[in-house]
Amino acid sequence: MERVCFTARIRRDKLAEYTERHGRVWPEMAEALRAAGWTNYSLFLTRDGLLIGYLETDDFAAAQQRMAQTEVNARWQADMAGFFDGIGDLRPDEGFNRVAEIFHLE
C-alpha cells in the first residue's frame, strides 16, 4: 500500500467556501475516488490556506490516471480551480506538491 501526502495552497479569501464545499462533496465524485483506488482519503486545511491531503492506494500514478479519465473529475476540478493559489493553468489535482514520507510507525 502506498501512503501519499500532498500539499496545495487555498486562497485565503476562499477558505470558508472551500471548507463548506467539502462538507457536501458530490456523491458521484466520492464514488469515483473510491473506484479509482483512493482509500483513507483525508484533507486538512490550516487558517493560512495550506491544504494537506493524505490517501492510501496501491499505485498513486495509476489512481490519478483513473480519476483523470472520469467526467465527474473534470467537472469537479473545473469547479474547484478558483480556490487554488499558485497552480497556473494546471487543474487542482495536477498542482499537488507531493510530500516525501520519511518515517512510518508500524
Each of the 106 residues of the chain gets a pLDDT tens digit; together they read: 999 999 999 999 999 999 999 999 999 999 999 999 999 999 999 999 999 999 999 999 999 999 999 999 999 999 999 999 999 989 999 999 999 999 999 8
Verdict on whether the full-model pTM lies above 0.85: yes
Domains of the chain by residue range: 2-99
User: Residue 99 has what pLDDT?
Assistant: 98
Q: What is the pLDDT of residue 48?
A: 97
Reading phi first (left if > 0) and then psi (alpha if -120 to 50, else beta), residue 38 is in beta
pLDDT for the residue 106: 86
DSSP H helical ranges for 36-106:
60-68, 71-80
Catalytic residue among 3, 12, 22, 34: 22
Domain 2-99 CATH assignment equals 3.30.70.100: yes
Q: Any idea which residue has 475516488 for its cell?
A: 33
22 assigned to active site? yes
Q: Which of 91, 82, 92 is nearest to 11 (CA)?
A: 82
Q: What is the pLDDT of residue 19?
A: 97
